[in-house]
Structure 1
Amino acid sequence: MAGSSHGHTPAAWTGVIIAFIGFCIAGMFMVAARPAGFWVGMAVVLLGGVVGYIMRMMGLGQPKQNHPVHQVADDRTAAGAQG
């Protein structure tokens, strides 16, 4: 994955940061034995996924057709068709 720029977009970073904060909130309240706070933290985790998806739809994610993995596959397919 390191060579494919997977997750190196504002949408990915924002979604993961929000989800991480929610995970920390949920963990803190789980240790404190406060179920309501735990579920609030889990809601923040889900919010991170929603925010990342919305940002991707707004164009802040990496488009699939420009992904390096797809470009390599397309180059191989084109080379096979010519030869």
Structure 2
Amino acid sequence: MADNHGNTPAAWTAVGVAMLGFLVGGIALMLTPVNMVLFWIGIALGVVSFPLFLVMARLGFHTEHH
């Protein structure tokens, strides 16, 4: 585990993608009628953010030197 408390490009990218997923899903739920395709795209973005973090961490973007 890194000593940088998540202040790395890998962490910021994963959080950004997850937040985008929540935003897309939330907007989809506010539409009338609810847009389920857009909602599931938001869910997919949220789920993809964790594997994205793991891949970026393996590539070396989870260090304080970037």
TM-score under structure 2 length normalisation: 0.80
Q: Which residue of 2 aligns with 1:50?
A: 51
- Report the equivalent of 1:13: 12
Query: How many angstroms apart in 2 are the aligned matches of 1:5 and 1:52?
Result: 15
SS for the counterpart of 2:16 is: helix
CA apart distance, 1:5: 2.6
Identity %: 32
Q: Which has the larger radius of gyration?
A: 1
Compare the two structures and name the one with the higher helix fraction.
Answer: 1
Ranges in structure 2 where 5+ consecutive residues have no aligned partner? none
The C-alpha deviation readout for 1:26-76, integer Å capped at 9, x for no partner, is 0000111111110111101112212111000111114xxxxxxxxxxxxxx
Q: Aligned-residue CA RMSD in angstroms?
A: 1.6
Aligned length: 60
Q: TM-score, normalised by structure 1?
A: 0.65
Unaligned runs of 5+ in 1: 63-83
What's 2:35 paired with?
34
Q: What letter corresponds to residue 13 of structure 1 in structure 2?
A: W
Residues 8-43 of structure 1: per-residue CA shift (max 9 Å, x gap): 111000000011011100000011111111011110
Relative contact order, higher structure (CA 8 A, sep 6+): 2
